[in-house]
Amino acid sequence: MEHIVILGNGISGVTLARHIRKLSDKKITIISAETEFFFSRTALMYVYMGHMKFEHIQPYEKNFWTKNRIELKKGYVSTIKPENKTLIFSDGESFTYDKLILAVGSKPNKFGWPGQDLIGVQGLYSKQDLDTLEINAPNNKVCKRAVIVGGGLIGIELAEMLRSRNIPVTFLVRESSFWNGVLPKGESEMLNRHIKSHHIDLRLSTNLREIKSDDKGQVQSVILEETGEEIFCNVVGLTPGVSPNIDFLKDSGIELSRGIKVNRFLETNIPDIYAIGDCAEQREAIGNRRSIEAVWYTGRMMGETLAQTICGNKIAYQPGHWFNSAKFLDIEYQTYGWVFATPKENNQHFHWKHEDDTKCITIEYHKSTNIFIGVNTFGIRMRHEVFDKWLTEKRDMDYVMNHLEDANFEPEFFKTYEKEIISAYNKQLQTVSQ
């Protein structure tokens, strides 16, 4: 019987295994060094915040794996030898496969800062990071202040987590406004104010120079690059993004760039080796999607797609229109299609913000055809299927504005603000045409 070995038990690897089992009788083994069972990485924060126990973020019961004949193996694979289809574990054990799927995820970035390996310096990615945070920052007596370095989605999650235990947080963000490489100015500036209103000491345009240690090798303070200011702290959270976890593959013969190079069928350059999830890098662009997309649902989609191919129905990965969602403290964010920080050439933005400074919408559209390109919403829940359809149908702005209510999850909200939004849009049209 063909033996399918999946390296990585995150969303992509586990989705693949579940779907192969639905479609076939193949022998399946999932290997991971991190945890025995799959857990929802996106929910790690809720464990620290006390909303859930770790068991609650493991969606499958123990007997699910035996019932579905999916073997689980814990261990770290240090080498892959494609010439004899063998994996070598860090303890020297070897293990063979017929087909190998690399679903090895990401690793937190580190930029060689002095002091980055001190006790009390950590990222937020793995279950081990969660355990370490519990030791480093159990409360505000042990951790009198934390400094977070890197202003993206994981940075703000870590800030929220620490604030939930009343730990003072200083948040160092290299950019002049929070996440302004991704978000348009109005949204990014709204978030600056929102972060500060949660008593987070947000320092924009600020870089880390150095992390200093006490005489026991424990973090004592950080020094800021621009001013030389010293901030005393017990924990430093490094959250300047993630990159594919591929260092252990460098001598394997598998083609690597920033990630593991794959074609549309998720095949690497080596027969019978595939890559999915955060670690996969598309060789050719798929529409206007990024070549690496480190998000939950794309890992799941790749797992579902590859299961078909592995079970004899070879199909290409087709992610469709880009969408994503996240939470910035208590503001929900959704994005459908493309809204760039500054509109692409020939495009422009329509932006509306509610006076309470926690809700806004930005729509990107083509200047001359008025075709809808994408929407960002903050504090307003929208319907994915509606925007997806409008993007496919290439609807224009008049259509979108006239039907915005259909996309809204909360009709009451819309009744209250519809007039305001439409009149802001009409005002912008008049300004543009003058």
Ligand X SMILES: Cc1cc2nc3c(=O)[nH]c(=O)nc-3n(C[C@H](O)[C@H](O)[C@H](O)COP(=O)(O)OP(=O)(O)OC[C@H]3O[C@@H](n4cnc5c(N)ncnc54)[C@H](O)[C@@H]3O)c2cc1C
Asked if 111 touches ligand X (CB under 6 A), the answer is no
**Nearest to ligand X of 157, 281 (CB atom):** 157
Asked if 157 touches ligand X (CB under 6 A), the answer is yes
Asked if 296 touches ligand X (CB under 6 A), the answer is yes
| Distance (Å, whole) CA 103 – CA 100 | 10
Asked if 184 touches ligand X (CB under 6 A), the answer is no
| Distance (Å, whole) CA 54 – CA 40 | 9
Q: How far is the CB of 43 from ligand X (least distance, A)?
A: 8
Q: How many chain residues interact with ligand X (CB under 6 A)?
A: 34
At 65, the amino acid letter reads W
Q: How far is the CB of 229 from ligand X (least distance, A)?
A: 28
Helical packing angle, 397-407 and 411-433, nearest 10°? 170
**Nearest to ligand X of 105, 151 (CB atom):** 105
Cα separation of the two ends of the chain:
71
Q: How far is the CB of 57 from ligand X (least distance, A)?
A: 11
Helix (H), strand (E), coil (C) string for 365-379: EECCCCEEEEEEEEC
Asked if 72 touches ligand X (CB under 6 A), the answer is no
Q: How far is the CB of 399 from ligand X (least distance, A)?
A: 29
**Nearest to ligand X of 103, 202 (CB atom):** 103
- Strands 169-172 and 200-203, bridge-based pairing: parallel
Core vs surface per residue 398-425: b (16+ CB within 10 A) or e: eebbeebeebbeeeebbeebeeebeebb
Classify residue 66 as exposed, middle or buried by CB count within 10 Å of its CB (0-12, 13-18, 19+): exposed
Binding to ligand X in span 235-264, by CB under 6 A: 245, 248
At 259, the amino acid letter reads G
- Stretch binding ligand X (CB under 6 A), from 26-34, 48-56, 160-168, 176-184: 26-34
CB atoms within 10 A of CB 331: 18
**Nearest to ligand X of 109, 318 (CB atom):** 109
Asked if 294 touches ligand X (CB under 6 A), the answer is yes
Contacts of 30 (CB under 8 A, 6+ apart): 6, 8, 9, 13, 14, 17, 70, 71, 72, 73
Asked if 155 touches ligand X (CB under 6 A), the answer is no
Asked if 377 touches ligand X (CB under 6 A), the answer is no
Binding to ligand X in span 297-326, by CB under 6 A: 297, 299, 326
**Binding residue for ligand X, selected from 4, 31, 191, 400, defined by CB under 6 A:** 31
- Residues making contact with ligand X (CB under 6 A): 7-13, 31-34, 41-42, 44, 76-77, 103-106, 124-125, 154, 157, 245, 248, 277-278, 294-297, 299, 326
